A and B are shown apart, each in its own frame.
Chain A
């Protein structure tokens, strides 16, 4: 019996070869496309060595990247951890591009290659192709071409203007990288040729970035009557202020930058924009990929295509990936996105096929519908972490993780437990968890609010602090230094509590450094 089954196995043993990879890929593809009905970009799977994996790590996982010392620093760091055995390497890296490139390590055993192909080449790939954030914010077709352009442009700049000048510009741009994103609209598609030709003509941005919503900012003119001044209003309109995309603002309006420097800012913010969706979909992206590989390898086993040994090896690795340590475990470092995503997606499947009364109450549209494939694909396509958790986190999963919510009020001496995994707490816990994945909460809200180009040319920034959380003072001052370099004149940053409007701190960066600072912790 066993020997008969063995003839059907795609592979036996740990060794992989191109033939077994090819055969296994075909089998996985069949399940992914026919059974799960996934929709993927064409796959390009590259076998790389551990050294190349370290290389890929250090250049933020992109196959091509311009050169910068910070990538070298990351490489040195990861290399030490890896060589000393503190940290293993990822089994794969996958790139949101078309064709979808995934890197598989040569050290992986054949069962691991199977897992990795199902995980990256189908799970992540489907997510990249279908999730609305990626569809809106990234251009999978153009990214590789654009990176090529960026890399050669920056190395040309290094030749022409010297590596130190370029490094200074990149340092400054990296410091503001998180503020190089238009959050509320889709960026134009990338095209190298167009980039080259209309490098300095980006008027179309200006038309598109006009956003009437800004008038409805909480800070109303009635509070500060002097701001109603005509001149200021006109100026702000011309500069399209307030502006959340600080790099864009500097690229357009900095009085001191040269053309190539503006182009470097443009490159950095384009890359930042490319990563913007990934920051918001960690749970979903990993959950999707983990669910897909779990389903596929089990199916392969059910079909008699892989043996028990292979399945056990895969499951061993799977279970360490989705491990969620408890809060008091030394390994605890927040909620594991793999664990949460995977659990929630399995839960959606469970609710569709074997609903309980509770599910019928909480998720009437899912419970018992039977079409879990459709439900999952809908979720994968239309949510990001925050909205996904808010929509789909069920009491069942909250109980399973035994979640509880703790609040830390600055003025109080003790933390308090606001809710646990019970009837009274489900909604509170869920809302708080969802909020903790909201990029608007994770990243400080800092905008350019004013710049008097005819006067002292001081650049004014405003930080609207949520929940009274201040900025990290040291890093803020360093960032301000970079900002001043890019702007060329003095820069001021005010932190204001969003709810009360109280001034929390004020930093003024002039040529000599930080000279005036008022109201820290005020």
Chain B
């Protein structure tokens, strides 16, 4: 018989996925514009969650031959008349648009308005990170096995006493005792009691003597059996078994180093913050877990929380190497390189205590660069300075010092930025596939 009702709910759901992909491809240029702009304008911490976007309909409109909304002589029937009589005149609205709140002539059109729709987080970030790549992923690639995860893997007959599984062991022992008829302690106690009772009597009758002998014999048999069938036998013992399962190294820690001396104003800090956040967003996407360590420095360095890092005022001189020392210390203490991918980002206005730059080079070359996946240094300049320092060769002491490090290490990058819109290009360039190719030459 023909089935009148068909349950389609289990049919594949993404029937229109192909259409959606075609649409995104079509509107790609517009969507990217919007995404890029929103990264620059909105708070960076929201960047990953912004989902509803509005794009201009340019390029995704579906033109038809239609009547214009205005012009010509028109007639229209309305409902709900209250005051009008035939022959009444009504003033036209000054804009010359349609009368009332009707949607004249655009019942199915989008009009010239913008088109709003929701991008999934994945789609949003894919666009954001398009053709970006983290460098040196080959070295400690996501697939590379470096750490082991311990997983339960049943029970075993051999093992470490600390892994003894009491429940299993006792269960096995009980089964064995039942099967081999080990006398229960209760029955032993009963016989012992009976023997004791008989012995305490002084005149024993003939029957009682016989009974006592019988009980003693029984007792001896029980004792023998108790010795032969122990309460717990080595074969009962079970241990929890654990297996070391190789797990990909999917953790990253990001060190944010920043000069917070008086020369770093609100503007500089804001730029630095955006740079850190972008890097964090990227790492967060790549790694299962991303830690952040904030190290601020003046003439001395300390590890602080994010709030303090960005907003707490501090005064003092500028000794960059203190921050590097602090970073090495934290790595040694908490982030062994076998388990963590280490990224470092440093922001500064380029000033440094004279003579300290050499020490920085030394620290970077010897201690830090072998530890980190990537080290990015940005120098935040005035817009005026930015024009002067177009040439990468010129610059302050710290810049010149870092250039030596950059020459020797492909995973060291340095850039100068001056305004918000510089950040994204810098970010792109730092992690672009091209850069990596150049670097690994």
Contacts and interface: CB of A to CB of B under 8 A. Distances in A.
B66 A475 contact: yes
Interface string A416-440: 1111111011000100110110000
Interface stretch (B42-50, B112-120, B281-289, B363-371): B112-120
A325 B79 CA distance: 8
Interface stretch (A3-11, A46-54, A194-202, A218-226): A46-54
A73 B115 contact: yes
Contacts of A330: 101
Interface residues of A, number: 100
A90 B105 CA distance: 23
B79 A406 contact: no
A55 B4 contact: no
Contacts of B27: 69, 73
23 contacts: A45-B4, A58-B16, A59-B16, A69-B22, A71-B19, A71-B23, A83-B118, A103-B8, A324-B80, A326-B79, A326-B82, A332-B100, A335-B77, A404-B84, A415-B90, A420-B86, A425-B86, A433-B77, A435-B75, A469-B71, A469-B74, A475-B63, A475-B65
A70 B73 contact: no
Interface string A332-345: 11110000000000
Nearest to A415: B90
A330 B101 CA distance: 7
Taking each of B23, B82, B112, which has the highest tally of chain A beta carbons within 10 Å of its own beta carbon?
B23
B79 A416 contact: no
Contacts of A404: 77-78, 81, 84
Interface stretch (A74-82, A355-363, A366-374): A74-82
A473 interface: yes
A103 B15 CA distance: 15
Contacts of B20: 72, 75-76
B72 interface: yes
A76 B112 CA distance: 18
Interface stretch (A18-26, A288-296, A346-354): A18-26
A280 interface: no
Interface of B: 2, 4-9, 11, 13, 15-16, 18-27, 52, 60-69, 71-82, 84-92, 99-103, 105, 107, 112, 115-118
A50 B87 CA distance: 50
A284 to B, nearest CB: 17
Interface in A8-36: 18, 21-22, 25
A470 B5 contact: no
A72 B19 contact: yes
Contact of B66 (A68, A80, A106, A471): A471
Interface stretch (A171-179, A185-193, A261-269): A171-179
A325 B80 contact: yes
B363 to A, nearest CB: 52
B73 A178 contact: no
B296 to A, nearest CB: 42
Contacts of B78: 327, 332, 403-406
A42 interface: yes
Contacts of B25: 69
B189 to A, nearest CB: 63
Given A43-B4, A325-B79, 20 more contacts: A25-B5, A45-B5, A51-B13, A55-B15, A71-B19, A80-B117, A174-B62, A326-B80, A327-B100, A329-B80, A332-B78, A332-B100, A334-B102, A334-B103, A403-B78, A404-B84, A420-B84, A443-B65, A463-B65, A470-B68
Contacts of B118: 76, 79-80, 83
A407 B90 CA distance: 10
A416 B86 CA distance: 8
A416 B19 contact: no
A474 B64 CA distance: 10
Max chain A CB contacts within 10 Å: which of B72, B77, B101, B107?
A: B77
Contacts of B24: 72
Interface of A: 18, 21-22, 25, 42-49, 51-52, 54-55, 58-59, 67-73, 75-77, 79-80, 83-84, 103, 106, 163, 167, 171, 174-179, 324-330, 332-335, 401-410, 413-422, 424-425, 429, 432-433, 435-436, 443-444, 446, 463, 465, 467-476, 478-479, 482, 521
Contact of A417 (B8, B18, B52, B85): B85
Given A71-B19, A402-B80, A46 B8 contact: yes
A178 B92 contact: no
A417 B82 CA distance: 12
Contacts of A325: 79-80
Return the 6 tightest CB-CB contacts between A and B, nearest first. A326-B80, A72-B23, A469-B72, A478-B63, A72-B19, A76-B117
B230 to A, nearest CB: 62
A424 B80 CA distance: 18
Contact of A68 (B9, B22, B64, B103): B22
Contacts of B66: 444, 471-472, 475
Contacts of A69: 19, 22-23, 25-27, 60
Nearest to B84: A417
A167 B107 CA distance: 25
A163 B22 CA distance: 9
A417 to B, nearest CB: 4
